[in-house]
Amino acid sequence: MDFDTPLFDSVLAETWIRAIAAAVEEEEALLTELDSAIGDGDHGSNLRRGFAAVLSALDGLQPTGPGAVLTKTGTTLISKVGGASGPLYGKAFRAIGAALPEPAGPATLAEALAAGLDAVRILGKAEPGDKTIVDAWTPAVAALRAAAAAGATLPEATAAAADAADQGARATIPLRARKGRASYLGERSTGHQDPGATSTALLFRALADVAHN
Ligand code: ADP
Ligand code: MG
């Protein structure tokens, strides 16, 4: 075992969540614009409000491990965000949290994030290609797993995941939505990047950024 490899611990977990909160605040206008094109324009405000509530919830928390931070994040998102994304991201963070009782290296983190993806898919029943969160999250998990299997460090593995999530989000542009509000538009949902896939890419980019520092 390489003891120089940084681990995903409770400090990094909290730093990650704070970085997501900052990113969704910074990119609120973009997320709103994307959701205005194929949804109801609330994705940016949903996530900004949700993560602001998460930050307050984390202020009083004495985490027992990285999982405790993520479980609290998920529970708060479920209770504070009304849109489809609240329960989906909420369940995802709760599943990630349940899989991370202790500080984790890249392989364990990959499996935890895979459990998060499973939770999204169980609740939302979206397949890859349906133009949802799943389209960014699936390639991110695949890249993280592959990097971990190849012996990558946490910064390397999470950077690969962030790049894959970005590509996955961009690849939703030509897709026709088959789940969520955007599916009501049918063919007219093509030609726009999916807001949820875009916020998932922000979430993985935030992870890579904090793992790097
Ligand atoms: P709402 O659609 O209720 O207004 P948001 O605007 O916050 O909620 O979130 C919209 C995003 O949620 C979509 O862009 C899509 O990525 C994601 N989404 C919607 N339904 C599903 C689903 N069944 N599975 C996965 N993601 C979904
Ligand atoms: Mg919306």
Give yes or no for residue 31 CB within 6 A of ligand 1. no
Give percent of the chain with pLDDT exceeding 90: 94
∠ Cα 85 88 89 (to 5°): 80
pLDDT at 60: 86
**What span, in angstroms and rounded, lies between the C-alpha atoms of 125 and 120?**
8
- Mind listing the pLDDT tens digit for each residue in 12-39? 999 999 999 999 999 999 999 999 999 9
Q: How far is the CA of 112 from the centre of ligand 2 (A)?
A: 27
- Mind listing the pLDDT tens digit for each residue in 106-133? 999 999 999 999 999 999 999 999 999 9
- Domain 10-212 = CATH 1.25.40.340: yes
- Mind listing the pLDDT tens digit for each residue in 166-184? 999 999 999 999 999 999 9
Q: How far is the CA of 121 from the centre of ligand 1 (A)?
A: 12
The phi, psi pair for 103, rounded to 5°, reads: -50, 140
- Mind listing the pLDDT tens digit for each residue in 72-93? 999 999 999 989 999 999 999 9
Distances (CA, A) of 198 to 171, 174, 203: 10, 14, 9
pLDDT at 4: 57
Listed residue (4, 84, 12, 71) closest to 42, CA to CA: 84
pLDDT at 213: 78
Stated length of the chain:
213
| DSSP state for residue 8 in the 8-state scheme | B
- Mind listing the pLDDT tens digit for each residue in 126-163? 999 999 999 999 999 999 999 999 999 999 999 999 99
For residue 47, which atom of ligand 1 is closest to its CA? Answer: 7
Give yes or no for residue 23 CB within 6 A of ligand 1. no
pLDDT at 1: 46
Give yes or no for residue 50 CB within 6 A of ligand 1. no
**What span, in angstroms and rounded, lies between the C-alpha atoms of 195 and 199?**
6
In this prediction the pTM is 0.97
Pocket test for ligand 1, best of 179, 183, 194, 198 (most atoms within 8 A of CB): 179
Mean pLDDT (the chain, rounded): 96
**pLDDT mean over 45-64:** 96
Q: How far is the CA of 96 from the centre of ligand 1 (A)?
A: 19
Does residue 2 carry a pLDDT above 50? no
